Amino acid sequence: MEADFVIVGAGSAGCAMAYRLGESGASVLVIEYGGTDAGPFIQMPAALSYPMNMSRYDWGYVAEPEPALNNRRLVCPRGKVIGGSSSINGMVYVRGHAMDFDHWAEQGADGWSYADVLPYFKRQESWHDGGHGGDPEWRGSDGPLHVTRGPRRNPLYHAFVEAGRQAGYEVTHDYNGEKQEGFGPMEQTVWNGRRWSAANAYLKPAMRRGNVDVVRGLATRVVLEEKRATGVEVIRKGRAEVIRARREVIIAASSINSPKLLMLSGIGSGAHLAEHGIEVVADRPGVGANLQDHLELYIQMASKQQITLYKHWNIFSKAVIGAQWLFTKKGLGASNQFESAAFIRSRPGVPYPDIQFHFLPIAVRYDGKAAAEGHGFQAHVGPMRSPSRGHLRLRSADPAEAPIIRFNYMSTDQDWEDFRTCIRLTREIFAQPAFEPYADFEIQPGDAVQSDDELDAFIAEHAESAFHPCGTCRMGRADDPDAVVDPEGRVIGVERLRVADSSIFPRITNGNLNAPSIMVGEKISDHVLGRDPLPRANVQPWIHSNWQTAQR
C-alpha cells in the first residue's frame, strides 16, 4: 500500500489535512487505530459524557500520581475513533486569544502570529450565530466546520452573563471575534443537531472524492531511510506491514501519541531512547517535553427554583430526550448544554484573559457521575496559563504499551494563587443580584471553605483536567535545541516528516483546544503543498484599555 501522503491519526488536525491534501489531487492514506464514529453516543451532543468514558472510543490513558493533588492519578482521555478527540470532546469551540498566537511567534514559531493564523480560522469555519450575521472581518462563512450556538432557553444562562455585567466585567457578543474578554454566549461544533466532528466536517467529504482512504491499524514506527521518512510500519490484523509515502509522512496522532511514535522511531532524547534500546536517528530532547494542560474546578450552587437540567436526570426523561433527538435531531439532546461562557483577567497587569468559565445549568461532574442531590448549577473555572510543565516518556519499546504521562500539575506557587483567585471571583459572580432568584447555597466547595489553606485542600482534592494536553513536540526555529518541529511542521533533523496537531503548540492557548488543532491542520497543509500562506489579516483585537491598573 502506498500514497503520496500518509497521515497517522484521523483526529482534528489529521482530518483537516486529509481534506486539504486530497483537495489538491494528491492521494492520501490516513492510518487510524480506532473504529467507526457511527451511533448516538458520539453523534448526539448531549451524550458527551459517554464516549469519553468508553474504552471503545478512548485510549484510556491515565497520568502518573500527582504529588500536589494528593497523589491522585488523573485520566487523560484521547479519541481512539474516526474524528479522534473531536468525536469524544465537549464540542466547545474556542479559537484562543489573539495574544496567544503572537506569543507563539515571539517564541520562534515564525509565521504563526494572530495576523497569520486568523485567515486559517476563517477558512475552516462556517459560522452561524442565530441570525445576527457574523462579522466577515473576523469569522468564516463557507468552511467545512459548522460552528453554532445553543438555544440558551434556560434563564440561568442569561443570569450568568448578567451577573458578570453586574460584577463590573465586560460583555462580549463573540469571544471568537474581536473581543474575547467578557461574558457571553458559548459556541459549539454542532450542526443540524449532530456533533460536527472533524470526521463529519472534513474526513467523510474527503473520502467521497475517492483519493483519500482510511487504513485501520496501529502505527508502530516511522520508517526512516538515511534520515528520510519513506513510510509507516503498522500492525494490521496481527501482521506488521509498511505503508509507503511517495511524498511525506505526517504525524497527527495527538499530544500523547505523536511524541510516543517519534520516540519509537528513534527521534527524541538520545539518552532516553538508549534506555529502551532504540537506535537514535535524531537527538531531539524536546520530544515529550513541554507537556501542558488546563485544570478546572466545578463551583456548584443549589438552585431555589426547579428549572435546572436535574429534572431530566432520570432514566425516563433521558429516554424521551434520546428518542426526540433520534427522530428529529432537536430538543435537549441537540446541545452540549455549555451555552454561556466567560473569559476574565485574574488581576491588574495581566493584559488578556487568563481565567475561563463554562456555565452549566446542572450540578454534575464532566464524566456524568455523581449528580449533586437535587437542583443546582455550576461554573467550571480554571486558569489558562499555568507555568507548570510536565513530560511524556516511553514505558518500554513496545508500541502497544501506554507511555508514562507526568503532568506535574500545580508545581508552582503561581498555580495555587491563580486557583484561589478563580474560586473567590466565581463566588462573587454567584452573589450578584442576577442570581438572587436562583442561588440558594453553595454545594461545592461550601461556605465553610474560606481560608487559603482550606481552599488549597479543596483544590488538591477536586481539581480535574479539562483534557487539553498539548506542547509535546514544540514548534520553534530550526536552531532551537528544544524545538521538535520548525514553523512549517517539519521534524528538525529528518526529511519528509512533519507533525501537525496540538503537540506542536509552543504554549497552551486560551480555552478548549479543538479549534486551534484544526487550524494547525489547515495551515500546515498549505506548507506541505508548498503554497504561499493566506494573506495576513489586518485587524486589531480588543484589549482592555485599563489592563495595567484594573482587573475588570
pLDDT tens column, 269-287: 999 999 999 999 999 999 9
Q: How confident is the model at residue 131 (pLDDT cuts 50, 70, 90)?
A: low
483 to 107, 329, 469: CA distances (angstroms): 10, 45, 17
Domains 1-149+192-288+471-539 and 151-185+295-383+411-462 share a fold: no
> 301 labelled as ligand-binding?
no
> 314 labelled as ligand-binding?
no
> 234 labelled as ligand-binding?
no
Is residue 549's pLDDT more than 90?
Answer: yes
Q: Are 442 and 427 in contact (CB under 8 A)?
A: yes
Q: How confident is the model at residue 374 (pLDDT cuts 50, 70, 90)?
A: confident
- pLDDT, tens only, 71-126: 999 999 999 999 999 999 999 999 999 999 999 999 999 999 999 999 999 999 99
> 91 labelled as ligand-binding?
yes
**Rounded distance, CA 172 to CA 353, Å?**
13
- pTM given for the model: 0.97
Q: How confident is the model at residue 188 (pLDDT cuts 50, 70, 90)?
A: very high
- The residue extents of the domains of the chain are 1-149+192-288+471-539, 151-185+295-383+411-462
Query: Is the backbone of residue 329 left (phi > 0), alpha (psi -120 to 50) or beta?
Result: left
Label each residue of 106-164 as H, E or C: HCCCCCCCHHHHHHHHHHHEEECCCCCCCCCCCCCECCCEEEEECCCCCHHHHHHHHHH
Question: Which of the following CATH numbers is that of domain 151-185+295-383+411-462: 3.40.630.30, 3.30.410.40, 2.40.10.340, 3.40.50.300?
Answer: 3.30.410.40
| 1-149+192-288+471-539 is classed CATH 3.50.50.60 | yes
- Sequence length of the chain is 552
Q: Which positions are annotated as active-site residues? A: 468
Angle in degrees, CA 426, 429, 430, rounded to 5: 90
> 131 labelled as ligand-binding?
no
Q: How confident is the model at residue 364 (pLDDT cuts 50, 70, 90)?
A: confident
Q: How far apart are the first and last CA of the chain?
A: 58
546 to 224, 249, 347: CA distances (angstroms): 54, 48, 11
Q: Which amino acid is at 543?
A: I
Q: How confident is the model at residue 371 (pLDDT cuts 50, 70, 90)?
A: low
